[in-house]
Amino acid sequence: MAVKCCERIGICNVDRNGSITELQREFFGQGWIFKDWKAFHEHQNAPCYVPELSDTVYTREDFISLCDNQEKIAERMFDEVDWQSPSTLMYEWEKDGEIDICDQCGRMFLSYDVHKCPHCGCFICEGQ
Ligand SMILES: [Zn+2]
């Protein structure tokens, strides 16, 4: 994994119920966001990302559940978000063929240059 240029940009604190008590975004990548690499890698439930356009706080758990409970995909997703919501990035991935759902087992996988489902091992028909 590449070395990160920073451990955290912006500030986000939440109360016990997960409501934001303090939020400061900083410019990163393509927009104004909060992103905390350390929190993502060390805590399940700490705020680790707030997108530019909504005050929605995401935790590692949120990323993992969006990614079919697969940490590898969640980590890739966390690395790539730089202004959008994680679900918007997921939509972009689906549109660009970065991610796919296996017809056989129903699991999600990163599909770029993949010809076999990593979960059930079935071959993926690409209409060749
Ligand atoms: Zn499969």
Summarised one tens digit per residue, pLDDT across range 58-103 is 999 999 999 999 999 999 999 999 999 999 999 999 999 999 999 9
Q: Which residues contact 117 (CB under 8 A, 6 or more apart)?
A: 102, 104, 105, 107, 109, 123, 124
116 alpha carbon to ligand 1 midpoint, in Å?
A: 8
Residues that place a CB less than 5 A from ion ligand 1: 102, 104-105, 117, 119-120
Residue 113 is predicted with a pLDDT of 80
Closest CA relative to residue 81, chosen from 44, 43, 33, 26: 33
Distance 86 CA to ligand 1 centre (A): 23
Is the model's pLDDT at 127 over the cut of 50?
Answer: no
**pLDDT bracket for residue 125 (50, 70, 90):** low
Cα 109 to middle of ligand 1, angstroms: 9
pLDDT in tens, 2-60: 445 569 999 999 999 889 999 999 999 899 999 999 999 999 999 999 999 999 999 99
CA–centroid distance, residue 122 to ligand 1 (Å): 6
Distance 61 CA to ligand 1 centre (A): 23
pLDDT in tens, 108-122: 999 888 889 999 998
Q: What is the pLDDT of residue 124?
A: 75
Query: Considering the entire predicted model, what is its pTM?
Result: 0.89
2 Cα: distance to centroid of ligand 1 (angstroms): 29
CA of 103 from ligand 1 middle (Å) equals 7
